[in-house]
Amino acid sequence: MEFNGDNLIVINFHAMPPGLSLEDRDYWNFFTIIREEQVRELIGFIDNQNIPVIALGDLNATDQNVAYKIMTALWWMHGEQHAQRESL
């Protein structure tokens, strides 16, 4: 995408939702592992870009989930002061 004469990448990301059955821990853990892998892949893609990236969408995680912590930890490492999370 081009904005004000500069190229940038816009990513619409929707991670795996939480498992639907709280009683089945294996089912819940499967979805959690997939979501964390998706977030790591997204961060890997972003890290390899040499132009600005806007990543938006639904992480399907709260600040209590590992996937959210992965995202914010890596943004902090890259000098960002915060990662914004908004619920609409």
pLDDT tens, residue by residue, 26-56: 777 888 888 889 988 998 898 888 888 888 8
**What pLDDT is recorded for position 64?**
81
The whole domain housing 72 covers 2-77
Which helix or strand (DSSP H or E) is residue 34 part of? helix 25-47
Q: Report the domain count for the chain.
A: 1
**The pTM is what?**
0.71
32's enclosing H/E stretch is helix 25-47
Mean per-residue pLDDT, 65-72: 82
Q: Is residue 85 part of a domain?
A: no
Task: Give the Cα separation of 38 and 61 in Å (integer).
Answer: 12
pLDDT by residue (tens digit) across 77-86? 655 544 444 4
Judge whether 52 lies within some domain: yes
